[in-house]
A and B are shown apart, each in its own frame.
Chain A
Amino acid sequence: EAGVTQFPSHSVIEKGQTVTLRCDPISGHDNLYWYRRVMGKEIKFLLHFVKESKQDESGMPNNRFLAERTGGTYSTLKVQPAELEDSGVYFCASATGMNTEAFFGQGTRLTVV
């Protein structure tokens, strides 16, 4: 069974550009989470989907970030326009239920120059 897949694995963009990150959860996992790790800091929660609905988006830093999960399958996280401080590693995780183990993807390393 495939794990959580994220792509691209790396992305380098210029300040002001738009970037879209994608996460494919494990098949059948209704719960999908986005996290971010800024250089040298801890991994921080961004938001949580249950199927296609946003259950909790309390960690989203500002309105330049837009997450979607159309159809309750894969999810995208768009940053528009990107700023230098958006650089970091973005992780996605999925779980069958809200109190079950979350499985993480390899992350997308975003560098904004």
Chain B
Amino acid sequence: AQSVTQLGSHVSVSEGALVLLRCNYSSSVPPYLFWYVQYPNQGLQLLLKYTSAATLVKGINGFEAEFKKSETSFHLTKPSAHMSDAAEYFCAVSPTSSNTGKLIFGQGTTLQVKP
């Protein structure tokens, strides 16, 4: 069965520092991978997705993620954190390309940004 592991339920960075949120997946087939963000009192919003094209994926708000098959990883990064980036982030995998709305999520990582 496919699964997603997010390392670290809470990550704290200073404003302007690098953001690195880790995600590892297990999949027996090439996966579709996603990062979603949930800001306080809002729904989940798609940040970016990997669909077997370029391994480096750029998303909204300056975030990007790199698909590394050898490491089964899809870590999310942002060069410089802003206070507005404080939110909960979810990595997810779609078991099949034919139904990318059916997702397997990681447990989420709460990002705190300190002034």
- Chain B residues in 8 Å Cβ range of A56: 99, 102
Chain A residue contacts of B43, Cβ below 8 A: 3-4, 91, 103-107
- Within 8 Å by CB of A104, from B36, B49, B99, B108, lies B36
Question: Are B101 and A93 in contact (CB-based, < 8 A)?
Answer: yes
Interface size counted on chain A using CB atoms at 8 A: 27
Number of interface residues of B (CB under 8 A): 23
Q: Tell yes or no: B98 within 8 A of A by CB.
A: yes
- Cα distance A23–B52 in the bound complex, in angstroms: 32
In the assembled complex, which residues on chain A have CB atoms less than 8 Å from the CB atom of B106? 42
Question: A48 on the interface (CB 8 Å rule)?
Answer: yes
From 93 to 113 in chain B, residues with beta carbon under 8 angstroms from any chain A beta carbon are 97-108
Return B34 CB to nearest CB of chain A, in Å.
9
List A87-104 residues whose CB lies under 8 Å from chain B. 91, 93, 95, 98-104
Q: Contacts of B41 on A, CB cut-off 8 Å? A: 106
Task: Tell yes or no: A31 within 8 A of B by CB.
Answer: yes
Chain A window 44-86, contacts with chain B (Cβ cutoff 8 Å), 1 for yes, 0 for no:
1100100000011000000000000000000000000000000
Say yes or no: A99-B97 contact (C-beta < 8 A), given A3-B43, A105-B43: yes
Residues B107 and A42 in contact, CB atoms below 8 Å apart:
yes
A45: contacting residue among B4, B45, B49, B102, CB under 8 A: B102
Nearest-Cβ distance from residue A100 to partner chain B, whole angstroms: 7
Residues of chain B having any CB pair with chain A under 8 Å:
4, 36, 41-46, 49, 90, 92, 97-108
With A56-B99, A95-B100 known, 11 other A-B pairs at CB within 8 A are A33-B101, A35-B103, A35-B105, A43-B44, A48-B101, A48-B102, A55-B99, A93-B44, A105-B43, A106-B41, A106-B43
